[in-house]
Amino acid sequence: MIAIRYHDSTKHHFSRFAPSLGYLDWATQPNPFRRYDGAVVRELPRASLATTVPYTALYDPPSQRVDEASGLVPQAIDHGSIGEFLRCSMGLSAWKQHGQSRWALRVNPSSGNLHPTEAWIVRDGRVCHYAPREHALEERCVFESRTLAEYFLVALTSITWREAWKYGERAFRYCQHDTGHAIGALRFAAAMLGWRMELLASWSDAQIATLLGLDRDADYAGAEREEPECIALVTTQPGYGIRDSGLDPDPDVLVDAARRATWRGRANRLSSDHVQWPLIEAVTRATRYPGIGDKGSGNRDAATVEPRTSGSRIPDPGSLQPAREVILRRRSALAFDPRGVLQRDALFSMLNRLQTFAPPWDVIDWSPQVHLVLFVHRVQDMTPGIYAYLRDVNVLGEWKSAMRGEFLWEPVEPANQSPRTDHPAHSANLFLLVPIDAGSIANRLSCDQEIAEDGFFSLSMLARFEEPLRTHGEWFYRRLFWECGLIGQVLYLEAEAAGGRATGIGCYYDEPVHELLGLSGHGWQSLYHFSMGLPVEDSRLTSEPGYEWEMTSMSNSRLPTPKD
């Protein structure tokens, strides 16, 4: 299997890193902004919407969001709300400056701030690329008739070269993490506006490519290609299950309309020169999703998320803050202050968000494949140590037999809660494996990064690996990373809401993580690390709002910012 070969080849070892150039070629640094020169540019409205929607409402099942008294009604889908949707998911969150260098940060995080992910929308018989710097849509094509004009689709693509420029062969993994983060960012922005959003398994990657014009060779002459990742339907309809209700548009009809349309614009070239990574090209081809036509049931082979109403009694630290502020405030921490301590309740509340009964988990249609190994450093009333958090408790027996025999597997109950909880999903899901000061272990495993040691906790996301790839196909490799990115996106927002800050960690030593846990073979693989703590500000950096028209509403502030 190419996906497994790629994965093994791109592991970091104590003795050597995954193949890369080994230095940064500044002369070929990719332009972070893709543009389609010659396309009609339509500026997006700048008005803020849904400013009073509380952060916790992001996790309400869509059917619970219709509450006219509190103003929690879905926004109509129009030019203005689409602008707000994109601004609060894929837009710019800040401009940073240090000396002569000035760079943009975005609402969605990205490994190395390289941003391989591009966003597209299809609406009103038009296919448009989102230009985040200008906060504008570039109209790539208009259909001959207003084919399926009433649908609102959002799609994501990757320009793999942006990550490969810095990270070499491991870059494909980061593009997939970033796609997962972007799916999460879009789902949260949709939730803020009272909308549902579901990835559509009925579309093959080839169909997405034709719809977005990615297969139009002449439009990319000399420019880096975009790889289709996913397409989602966004609606104002309450309830669950767009995918299964026949409400999704027929891919063949839209693909046919795209083929007959008149296209405008040519992709800009992002780098003057490129390094080829043949294994990235091979894994890209091998993991393309063939769609339902070829696969019988596509993603639906995997268990569908069952809608359930959340009955959590865990206090929620972020409950009163406006969702929009938390979303736009999200940043990666560069360093943590080891004096910061997280409340025990807050940790349980965060873990509870990773259970799949509510948004953002309705955006995907497979059951949890990714679970957590936590390195708990500074959580009030919790023994420091290595813990397991199972997003599906049925995995318990499997993990016990796959991991070291000496692990304790001691269940940890949330504080202030009687054993008769009406929320059994999370109370039995956290287990102490080893009481130990795991700071230096976490630091070493995460490529010797102090952010893995100095915070409240850090973690490794362990994915069921070989079995889903063999059962569903190699295309599922990408989805495992998307699930990790989604977990990361939830935790990024949870950190902000709790007064802390988080950082995704793509750099870690793969096999040493498995050895620590006693794992062998390809049954489970560590796919992403993550950390959270009290951030330390980097006072050398100055910060400006993402858009000049927001200058008056946000003061010029100094905030911690990330760099790898």
Ligand X SMILES: Cc1cc2nc3c(=O)[nH]c(=O)nc-3n(C[C@H](O)[C@H](O)[C@H](O)COP(=O)(O)O)c2cc1C
Q: Where do contacts with ligand X occur on this chain (CB under 6 A)?
A: 105-106, 109-113, 174, 177-178, 181, 331-332, 449, 451, 503-507, 561-564
Separation CA 455–CA 342 (nearest Å): 9
- Minimum separation from the CB atom of position 360 to ligand X (A): 16
Indicate the residue among 55 and 174 with the shorter CB distance to ligand X: 174
- Minimum separation from the CB atom of position 456 to ligand X (A): 16
Separation CA 167–CA 24 (nearest Å): 9
Angle between helix 2-9 and helix 278-286 axes, rounded to 10 deg: 140
Indicate the residue among 106 and 464 with the shorter CB distance to ligand X: 106
Separation CA 550–CA 267 (nearest Å): 29
Whether 112 contacts 154, CB under 8 Å:
no
Indicate the residue among 185 and 267 with the shorter CB distance to ligand X: 185
- Minimum separation from the CB atom of position 18 to ligand X (A): 13
Indicate the residue among 12 and 426 with the shorter CB distance to ligand X: 12
Q: Where are the beta strands (DSSP E) in 29-99?
A: 36-37, 40-43, 92-98
C-alpha atoms less than 13 angstroms from C-alpha of 330 in its C-beta half-sphere: 32
Q: Got the DSSP string for 516-529?
A: HHT--TTSEEEEEE
Indicate the residue among 113 and 158 with the shorter CB distance to ligand X: 113
- Minimum separation from the CB atom of position 563 to ligand X (A): 6
Q: Got the DSSP string for 456-515?
A: SEEEEEEEE-HHHHHHH-TTHHHHHHHHHHHHHHHHHHHHHHTT-EEEEE---BHHHHHH
- Minimum separation from the CB atom of position 482 to ligand X (A): 11
Indicate the residue among 232 and 333 with the shorter CB distance to ligand X: 333
Length of the chain, in residues: 564
Indicate the residue among 49 and 505 with the shorter CB distance to ligand X: 505
22: left (phi over 0), alpha (psi -120 to 50) or beta: left
Q: Which of 71, 89, 69, 34 is nearest to 360 (CA)?
A: 89
Separation CA 475–CA 205 (nearest Å): 10
- Minimum separation from the CB atom of position 91 to ligand X (A): 12
- Minimum separation from the CB atom of position 113 to ligand X (A): 3
